[in-house]
Amino acid sequence: MKDPVTNFTFGDVTYDLASRTHIMGILNVTPDSFADGGRYQDSDAAVEHGLMMAREGADFIDIGGASSRPGSEPVAGDEELKRILPVIRRLSSELGIPLSVDTYRSDVAEAALRAGASIVNDITSFHGDPRMGDVIAGHGASVVLMHMQGTPKTMQTEPHYENVLEEVIGFLQERIHHAREKGIDQVIVDPGIGFGKSLAHNLALLRNLGELKRLECPVLVGPSRKSFIAAILDLPVEDRLEGTAAAVAAAVMNGAAIVRVHDVKEMKRVASVTDAIVHG
């Protein structure tokens, strides 16, 4: 098994993703995201929050205009663009860190990449839009390929696996091959915590995250404030900070290169201490 190539260039910025855990701040420009829906729907508020996350130590900002919470309905592409493009344009002119666009639509990705994003975070791994790989390759952009069983509307309706770890790895392996065939050099993988997974599935993936090293790509993990934490602690979304911290620490201990989080300041501290324990 080879170690993954971890020196990734995003626009003008190069990170060694193996040097420490990198922090991706979540910026939902939506009225209905599960953790912060409506808080940053106004573009001025969204930009200010993005700037704040950068000040708190985010290495990336991931900007999304369509909720993928369990049970969510799709949003029209023109509405998604209307929400995110002003924010991407302003943050790309004011920040020196890479911007990611959280979308599965190729036309939205194309516009976002032209506006200043350098990463596409596609929860469908190109299944949502077969043109996506060509768009990303054409811009020389990076991609996050995520595993999801079903769709956001249906994914939490009795998810089932014979072997969740092997099925997730197999799915991502095939998607990586597809991305390479399209000419995409920089691929990051995400096991999709909370996307078509029960509590047991999520815990198994976090426990065995090191097995994803087989994929020879940096691993991103997004446990922030998710319902599997509530299943353990029986707490509402605004009270899941400590549970998120525990999941982030576990992900870092097991090899995550990037953690995608709402609470940047706090999770950067968690990741820094965990990195020190792991790497000395």
Task: Write down the H helix ranges in the chain.
Answer: 43-55, 77-94, 106-115, 132-138, 164-182, 199-207, 227-233, 241-253, 264-279
Q: Among residues 99, 96, 76, which one has the least CA distance to residue 86? A: 99
Which is catalytic among the residues 260, 265, 268, 269?
260
Cα–Cα distance, 233 to 172 (Å, whole number): 30
Q: Is there a catalytic annotation at residue 214?
A: no
Which is catalytic among the residues 90, 226, 240, 268?
226
Q: Which phi and psi (to 5°) does residue 161 adopt? A: -140, 150
Decide: helix, strand or coil at residue 37. coil
Q: Is there a catalytic annotation at residue 226?
A: yes
Cβ proximity of 274 and 21 under 8 Å? yes
Active site residues: 226, 260
